[in-house]
Amino acid sequence: MLDFRDRSPAKKANNDFSGRRKFLISLMMVFMFVLVVRAVYLQVITKDFLIHQGDMRQIDKVSVSAYRGVILDRQGEPLAISTPVESIWINPKELRASKEDSIKAMEKLLGLPNGKIIEWIKEDPRRQFLYIARRVDPQLAQRVKELKLMGVYAEREFKRFYPTGGVSGHLVGFTDINDIGQTGLEYGYEKMLRGTPGSKRVIRDGNRRIIEDIENISEPVSGKNLELSIDQRIQYLAYKELQVAVNENKAKSGALVVLDAKNGEILAAVNQPSYNPNTRNNLKEGLYRNRAFTEVFEPGSTVKPFVVAAALDGGYITPNSMFVTNGTFAIGHNVVTDTHNYGTMDTTKVISKSSNIGVTMMSLKMPPKYLYDIYHQLGFGVSAASGFPGEAIGVIKDYKKWRDFDRATMAFGYGLNSSVLQLARAYTALADDGILHSVSLLKREDDDDTVRVFSAKTAKTVRKMMETVLSKDGTAFEAVVPGYSAAGKTGTAKKATAHGYKEKNYFAIFSGMAPVENPRLIIAVMIDEPSAGNYYGGLVAAPVFSKVMAGALRILEVAPDKLDTMPVLLTRK
């Protein structure tokens, strides 16, 4: 029998291929089914678990705080330094599960009102981050941690500490809760002090705790240190003596500046009343204002030595010139008076007795522009450029508007104003043989920005005249510096108001230098509204000058040059 079936190899191959195709398709279907089942399992059945695991591990970028630079005095003693502290924060959503007694225990440790944290939690139950205490002592933070409350965490920060407290508070200033300078040198040198924060990537858990550092993105750069010209030993001395004077004289306030007569460095700058930058709760703005640098007053008779020097240098008078005063001097409808009728005086006596009439006669001999230019060169109406923020400039009336009586009042310190710093700076022109110095709050060896205002001969002559002010016949015997020669000038200026000058409110002022032959220090003192009875500069401000100058010269180991004044200290007691 014949077999007509096709038994060719091609037919058999087709059948084999068809079987393999079915097998592959079936296998793919199985894989697809497995993937669908897995997807359902992950996205439906275990959804909450996976979300929780994702929340438990988050990659985050965090800032790394930079260490704020230290502020130092000229001897390297710290005036402002950053210390590590911790800030306590909570996750209110988690803390709700804690016992109320434990929360109250934490409130007590942190000094928070009873129930305050629970109140915060109820305000927004969904909130996950809230600071409850910033920059607390690490030991206190550790006691909080030991409570082991769920949702309570701590992070490291820096807190500014001021070792000298109120002694240098007005000068140094302070930072805010975020360690950013707000006043004083902390504010003025903020960019230099704060440094540059770094950053890093970390893994956080669901409680925002850092569980692993991944990598450093940038390293923090610490702020630069600030080395001041201030000598904290002199600063403390000046602070205490000014405090005593303000309290004893029941004054409104006081300010004092000590300058190095050779290079213009500011060795001390103090104010009263003071404040402690470490504890400044409910601090009024006026209390932390640095009056020595930022407030102005009419300097009164403390400018008379400049008028004498200008007249001598310009050839308008000589040291032997005589002035017939007789107690009053009429200028048009106005009258200039002295406290006593001194009769006829030479130039030296005009200074020692602080004669308004005598310096008025000198002023009227000089062209207005000439005296104005002298005042301007001395720094009146010009910023002292110390680098302190908010420094006062002061004003001086345009000479083109001076009438004859204006020329008189300008000679005895009315019609212009000055800060204590500006007044002290102006005295460098007398102390350093006619050379006016710039001033600096930063330590330096030399002053590269000097200006000659008077001749050396004139400056030395006026200094010797000013020495008589501290004699028994002068206006400031209380300014005598035991063991040292000294020269200076008193000032008693009425306070100006919108309604004119007050009769019973005064500025008591003294500015001077020592030793006379080769001055090392200049001190300017201003006491505002003394009300205990005395108000003259020679009785209120001069004693402060004496005590601070004597102590400061000893601190600097300046050799005494006038031992015959040593008994003065015992006489005063």
Task: In whole angstroms, give the CA distance from residue 363 to residue 358.
Answer: 9
Quick one: 330 and 454 in the same domain? yes
Residue 432 inside a domain? The answer is yes
Q: Is residue 168 among the annotated active site residues? A: no
Has residue 209 got a pLDDT over 60?
A: no
Q: What does the DSSP assignment read for 135-198?
A: EE-HHHHHHHHTT--TTEEEEEEEEEE-TTGGGSHHHH--B-TTS-B-SHHHHHTHHHHH-B-E
Kindly state whether residues 222 and 144 are assigned to the same domain: yes
Q: Taking residues 435-452, report their average pLDDT.
A: 96
Check whether residue 238 and residue 142 sit in a common domain. Answer: no
Residues 319 and 395 in one domain: yes
| 36 occurs within a structural domain | no
Instruction: Read off the pLDDT of each residue in 101-118 and give the average, rounded to a whole number.
Output: 79
In a domain, 250, yes or no: yes
Q: Give yes or no for a contact between 351 and 359, defined as CB atoms under 8 angstroms apart.
A: no
My answer on whether 496 and 533 are in the same domain is yes
Asked whether residue 49 is domain-assigned, the answer is no
| Statement: residue 80 has pLDDT above 90 | yes
CA distance 356 to 126: 76
Q: Which two tokens stand for residue 211?
A: 């569980």
Model pLDDT, residue 1: 46
416 secondary structure, DSSP code: B
Domain of residue 353: give its range.
Answer: 232-275+290-572
- Here the CATH number for the domain that contains residue 349 is 3.40.710.10
Domain with residue 161: its CATH number is 3.90.1310.10
Total number of domains constituting the chain: 2
Does the pLDDT at position 288 exceed 70? yes
- Checking if the pLDDT of 293 tops 90, the result is yes
Q: Are 90 and 123 in contact (CB under 8 A)?
A: no
Clarify whether residues 303 and 326 are in a common domain: yes
Cα dihedral 35, 37, 41, 44 in deg (nearest 10): 100
Q: Which of 210, 227, 244 is the last residue of a domain?
A: 227
Mean pLDDT check: name the lowest of 148-162, 258-272, 489-503.
148-162
Model confidence pLDDT, tens digit, residues 315-352 = 999 999 999 998 999 999 999 999 999 999 999 999 99
* Domain shared by 240 and 188, yes or no: no
Is the model's pLDDT at 566 over the cut of 80?
A: no
Residues 343 and 297 in one domain: yes
pTM across the whole model:
0.82
Beta-carbon contacts of 83 under 8 Å, excluding residues fewer than 6 positions away, are 158, 159, 161
User: Higher confidence at residue 144 or residue 546?
Assistant: 546
- 193 lies in some domain: yes
The single residue of 87, 274, 301, 485 carrying the catalytic annotation is 301
Give the model's pLDDT for residue 10. 52
Q: Round to whole Å and give the CA distance between 540 and 490.
A: 10
In a domain, 109, yes or no: yes
The per-residue pLDDT of the chain, averaged, comes to 87
Confirm whether 188 is domain-assigned.
yes
> Does residue 206 belong to any structural domain of this protein?
yes
More confident residue, 320 or 135: 320
Top mean pLDDT of 35-39, 137-141, 195-199, 339-343 is at 339-343
Instruction: Report residue 2's pLDDT band, with 50, 70 and 90 as the boundaries.
Output: very low
- Could you tell me if 263 and 301 lie in one domain? yes
